[in-house]
A and B are shown apart, each in its own frame.
Chain A
Amino acid sequence: MEIIVYGTINSVSLALMALGFAMVYGVSRVPNFAHGALYIICGFSCWIIMNKLGINYFFSIFLALAINGLIGALMYRFVLIRVRGMNISEIIGSYAIGLAILEGLRWGGFKGMTYTLPVFMEGSIIIGGVPVDYHRILMMLIGIFLVAMLWIFTHYTKIGLALQGMAQDERAALMLGIDSDLMATLAMAFGAILAGIAALLILPLGNIVVESGYHVLIMSIAVCIVGGLGSWMGAIVAAFLIGFTQILTVVYIGSHFQMVVAILAIILTLILKPSGLFGKQHELEERV
């Protein structure tokens, strides 16, 4: 029973982490290697707003998300827009920005393990004999709610449809009068906000540490690849797949194989089905 409960929790947290990355890659084909940095900087900015400026927790969340979205948009507008297309420079560019943000935070004194965010609700209850704390349940609910909102957003709103159009075929979207750079900036901003939401949900469980930035980047790449680069629906399904395999390995094989399994999943998926579960792999099924 606890496998199911903690499996879903682990999977939802993986899905939250990966959603931002999948959104950005889906729309603008830019692999955003600064995703981990956006995740962490949202945690720290929320901490600063709450502790240094004394604004209460609820508003500081929204303020931090807004700042994150702004950083994402600025990052795209001034740096990534010039290197779109040259995929090596994209990777290096976004990784360098991520590095600058993370190491800048570390230089700015955000070292050590004493920074954390308060939990939404204290205490825990027993579900089917398994003690689960409120915050994790809340995280699951918000996660599912977020996915539903995202689905509605991309299917029924103007911007959402434009983003999806861009994802399928950028040139066709251009022909229909969708300003691709604006859309890509918006996508990057949304990606940053999604990373921020993931941070504000997951970080209260532990503490805000710069290293988890790199860890989040690796895991979100893992999930997006298994789910098929570009399709965020695939990312969610893949998150559940990897989440449960991790929990199962911990229970049956041995907890220290947990990481090995996650990375093995990526390598196997790429070899067997490079386009992932849902992805439409353009290069491979090239028209002969």
Chain B
Amino acid sequence: MKNQAKKKGPILRVEGLTKHFGGVTALKDVSFEVGEGEILGIIGPNGSGKTTIVNNISGFIKPSSGKVYYKGKDITGKKPHKIADMGLTRTFQVMRPYYSLPAYKNLVIPLFSPRARRTGGWRGGGRLGDRHTVSIDILEEIGFERDSYIPFKTTSTLPTGYLKRLELARCLSLKPEIIICDEVFSGLSMSEISSMVPLIERLQMEGITIVMIEHRLRELFRVANRVMVLNFGEKLVEGSPDEVMADPQVKVAYFGSEEVEEVMTYA
């Protein structure tokens, strides 16, 4: 059911990541690794610093201390567009499409980036075709029906499900090696989620490493190879989904007490 991660060197390694906002310590000494082609889930109650980790890795915020290595190279504090250019892309928890532009034009922008020119975009194979057709192909692949009117509708009229897919499409258009999905499932209806999960699995088949930050644990556990739990900016525990589920500390962190056994299964 889950494909095993190929055992090569870690593609992403974070060591001792700490971040203070004024007096508040959002992250305290978090370290973890992500193997090539692996899906790592990051869970934790609200305000445990999940999004701060994403911002630090993707360069939007500079960490107070600690190092981030990507394929062995130190990318701590690099500019976001340089990190994205190296193949480490991310989606936003608060979706950020270009509301004034039609959906297919949203993807034209990433196709302008130097990485897209080099790699020819998602299916380009080294040569970038006409940006408009390439963007419509990518949209079709992630679930925008091709011959319908949806790719040409202005983004502000699209429902949340399509916007989430648009975020993913933006990462895909850069032919990424890592995608950090920040709560891709939140706010979606059950049917949308059920169509999103196979999409994630297909991406993993394509060899893309995915780091998923989620609250919907059931879907996450179906997909993730390993899971890491964060609480108040500190790393609580890391391991396979079953180990994490069984760990008492996680239950306390999430629900404040250990007895709540049955709820965990349906979360």
Interface positions of A (Cβ within 8 A of B): 288
Contacts and interface: CB of A to CB of B under 8 A. Distances in A.
A282 to B, nearest CB: 16
Contacts of A288: 51, 55, 60-61, 92
Nearest to A285: B21
A288 B61 CA distance: 9
Interface residues of B, number: 5
Nearest to B52: A288
A171 to B, nearest CB: 18
B54 to A, nearest CB: 9
Interface in B64-100: 92
5 contacts: A288-B51, A288-B55, A288-B60, A288-B61, A288-B92
A160 to B, nearest CB: 27
B8 to A, nearest CB: 31
Nearest to B21: A285
A288 B56 CA distance: 11
Which label, helix, strand, loop or mixed, suits the secondary structure of the B interface? loop
A288 B50 CA distance: 13
Contacts of B61: 288
A208 B55 CA distance: 56
Nearest to B92: A288
Interface in B28-82: 51, 55, 60-61
B110 to A, nearest CB: 18
A288 B80 CA distance: 12
A288 B60 CA distance: 8
Nearest to A288: B60
Nearest to B80: A288
A286 B137 CA distance: 33
A288 B52 CA distance: 9
A288 B19 CA distance: 15
A81 B61 CA distance: 38
Contacts of B92: 288
A288 B55 CA distance: 8
A288 B57 CA distance: 13
Nearest to A287: B94
B204 to A, nearest CB: 26
A288 B96 CA distance: 10
Contacts of B60: 288
Contacts of B55: 288
A288 B92 CA distance: 8
B42 to A, nearest CB: 17
A288 B26 CA distance: 14
Interface in B174-188: none
A285 to B, nearest CB: 10
Nearest to B54: A288
Nearest to A286: B60
A288 B58 CA distance: 11
Nearest to B60: A288
B31 to A, nearest CB: 22
Interface in B155-214: none
A286 to B, nearest CB: 10
Contacts of B51: 288
A3 B35 CA distance: 66
Nearest to B93: A288
A288 B21 CA distance: 13
Shortest 5 CB-CB distances between A and B: which pairs?
A288-B60, A288-B55, A288-B61, A288-B92, A288-B51
A271 B51 CA distance: 29
Nearest to B61: A288
A17 to B, nearest CB: 33
A219 to B, nearest CB: 33
B88 to A, nearest CB: 16
A288 B51 CA distance: 9
A288 B93 CA distance: 9
A82 B61 CA distance: 39
B13 to A, nearest CB: 23
A20 B61 CA distance: 36
A94 to B, nearest CB: 29
A288 B95 CA distance: 10
A288 to B, nearest CB: 5
A244 to B, nearest CB: 30
B52 to A, nearest CB: 9
B245 to A, nearest CB: 31
B46 to A, nearest CB: 15
A157 to B, nearest CB: 30
A223 B110 CA distance: 41
B32 to A, nearest CB: 21
